[in-house]
Structure 1
């Protein structure tokens, strides 16, 4: 491969396909209607790189969507298949990445190499350049970032001849770029987050309709327990799409007796869905006898205990600063933040020592401009207060819980530059320079906690600035990083946590 076809070059080319803030504003203003072009456009791109949709059936896909828990469900499912069938080659496609874009495309648990990513990337790029014939004149010559990476993933998995593919939906379901596999082996819907109703301006039935769009004729359709109005839509859509079956996955009692590899009580529901997805898949693809819904064989237990999913309720000891512990959770919805707070403020974490001997605590937080930061912060503080009362922590309150609070952008370095894989164009430049979102968050914090010391509240232009604040804290110090997976990825990069966190 020539020097002009390196991994860094692939990342640069990929970044040129990012949708900027103005484009994202247009999609939001359209009410999402622009997403309806995703499927015909993706099929056109797939044809231009030499494949037909039916070719994707060879990937043996487990397709998973939901508004929360879909990534964790995919991680659990991946671990189960690899434990039960160690001789298999198992592909996993997820988003977003934390530090390197190649994390999105994994084989047997590991991101594909930089060399492989660059090779598959430029094979797709060159095929699109050489085949400009388009059925729809309005289709751009190159797809946007996520669609392009999805094409690279399909090409990589087909080239590597994987035995099974766990495919996580990016956004929604019906119009998602991953939803062009004609016949996956099994499909699943994780929890429908109620708070998405306010954020996305959609009702629960509308969200459920979108998610159920991954259901396919003749393919088993699974879901966890959902709000009643959402469940009705999922069931109706399953019937309309003539799925092979429709199953509601209930709690598996045995999951309460093991320590899952992913922290948080909410993970038991994701693990239960993963167990049923794997059971269905192994029955259909490997001829394994279908197990009872609540069965948990030893291989499954080992797989669930061994599951790792970086940046989600993850505790990391800083390798260079023995007294610093990072609590990383890319929680970015009200419900996921509630889970995050319950995980962090627990007897095993923040409440493991008496108040007068506890570590210092720092909050590093950011969220996208389209979300209501004040609502998020209020929910976090109310959750902390409730848990402190539950655990009878006298002398502590939500107002004194954190010793320092940092609101920073997702820009990686103090120089104003991003690490190549972490480049983001989804915030208006003038808002980024003015730290608009971060100042709004700080204002909300001051309103919620007027007595919080001004010199302990920081609005900073980069992740590196935030890490510097943490480094100045007396040790021991516990650092909660939340609100954005992009922020978590930046922290892992700048704080030197890659070897222990990924």
Structure 2
């Protein structure tokens, strides 16, 4: 096969599982430990199994991974923002001092293209670099199916492959620091092959991925805290009493100190980036991580680093506002109940601050095998009413971006088992039952939803349109709004 970017993406898609396994993992494949509720959660073979052997097959030792100087971040909400704030603080310090000169960032999922997941110095790696390193990993690992140890004889799945590609890229590109976001959990996550991080962190916790992580927030805390490592300072934001106790216990078990972080009083009060309370908390956590990282490397953040780090912060699709004439587009890729509550509060705060009330639109789409879209929509509706930001018009749409059916080759998108028209009908009926006075529309594409919103804006003299429910929806909207 020709080594091309398009072929790399086609091969990567073959590593997706058609369905998630339903059978609980055996103790031998999970190094079984007991979560607080005692409910077995890992299904099939855990994502961590094989990672060490695959890295070795690529020629990378544990020492090579250690030299990446990794900050490892887990949590339910705010992982991406915390990673981005941490990167921004380190980057501004580097521009002043020269260290760390090259900063790697691994996050998921992507909004607009797959290369967003693997970045160096604020930019996704190029198509050429992605292609080169993809085929180096692919050609080294696929032959392992013919023999070797039991763990290495398997081939990596989609997220495992992407994590391996990130490690390989950062090692080959000689980054001085790397920030890794976990995929879902922590203890059995593919990224937890990291044995000696510089520091670890847990962002805000809530119920999400319960089929994989357990039915209680204490179970989720147990899994997330699996990234704690002996001697690596651990940080977390203020949590509820139950998960806080679990995190303390796990830190003690793993022989590390745990620091609870609240909103820092040294952050500026007039920054638009920090106008959302949860973003102040994420920024405060990132500030602790960057400060500790640099301290351990013989450096120190100064006030200018902090100020410029906040000014230069960028994380697309999170609490983002685009203004076009009389139309204001509010975008946040919230897709669980905790994040939807925060996004609704943010939208309400901004619409209330407007001098002239405008017609409010909600544009919503959600599909997931792991989450109940109906429950999420109900939660969002309650939050918008609670914060006095109930929309005048709701548009339900799909993940399909354009009316001509075109999809970018490097846009990752799962095809739902339930047809989108059926989901839109379900969501429409639900909203009509809750709020019969709201105008409701359905559109088969994101482009169609935007066109309808623009028509309403022309009729009403302006709109405040809120995109939420899915990163796929927000990513598509951003691609169309930023023509």
TM-score for the superposition, normalised by structure 2: 0.88
Q: Secondary structure at the residue paired with 1:187? A: strand
Q: Does 1:461 align with 2:447?
A: no
Q: Give the match for residue 36 of structure 2.
A: none
Shift in alpha-carbon separation, 1:193–1:40, aligned structure 2, 3 A: same
Q: Give the match for residue 402 of structure 1.
A: 392
Provide the alpha-carbon RMSD of the alignment. 2.7
Cα shift at 1:5: 2.1
Q: Does 1:26 align with 2:26?
A: no
Cα shift at 1:36: 5.2
Q: Give the match for residue 15 of structure 1.
A: 13
Q: Give the match for residue 475 of structure 2.
A: 489
In the TM superposition, 1:341-420 aligns within 5 A as 341-346=344-349, 348-349=350-351, 351-355=353-357, 358-359=358-359, 361-388=361-388, 398=390, 401-403=391-393, 405-416=394-405, 418-420=407-409
Cα shift at 1:279: 0.8
Contact 1:362 1:470 in 2 (8 A): no
Q: Give the match for residue 183 of structure 1.
A: 196
Specify every segment of 5 or more residues in structure 1 that has no aligned partner in the other structure, as ranges.
Answer: 389-396
Q: Give the match for residue 311 of structure 1.
A: 317
Q: Give the match for residue 266 of structure 1.
A: 278
Cα shift at 1:477: 2.8
Q: Give the match for residue 250 of structure 1.
A: 262
Cα shift at 1:116: 0.9
C-alpha distance in structure 2 between counterparts of 1:288 and 1:260, whole Å: 28
C-alpha distance in structure 1 between counterparts of 2:306 and 2:62, whole Å: 32
In the TM superposition, 1:34-113 aligns within 5 A as 34=43, 37-86=46-95, 87=98, 88-113=101-126
Contact 1:54 1:181 in 2 (8 A): no
Cα shift at 1:197: 6.0
Contact 1:412 1:422 in 2 (8 A): no
Contact 2:112 2:476 in 1 (8 A): yes
Q: Secondary structure at the residue paired with 2:47? A: helix
Q: Secondary structure at the residue paired with 1:78? A: helix
Offset from partner CA, 1:434-486 (integer Å, 9 cap, x none): 63332221121111112334xx321x333233233234333333321101111
Shift in alpha-carbon separation, 1:236–1:441, aligned structure 2, 3 A: same
Contact 2:86 2:289 in 1 (8 A): yes
Specify every segment of 5 or more residues in structure 2 that has no aligned partner in the other structure, as ranges.
Answer: 27-39
Shift in alpha-carbon separation, 1:327–1:25, aligned structure 2, 3 A: farther
C-alpha distance in structure 2 between counterparts of 1:136 and 1:206, whole Å: 32
Q: Give the match for residue 343 of structure 2.
A: 340
TM-score for the superposition, normalised by structure 1: 0.85
Q: Give the match for residue 32 of structure 2.
A: none
Q: Give the match for residue 425 of structure 1.
A: 414
Shift in alpha-carbon separation, 1:490–1:211, aligned structure 2, 3 A: same
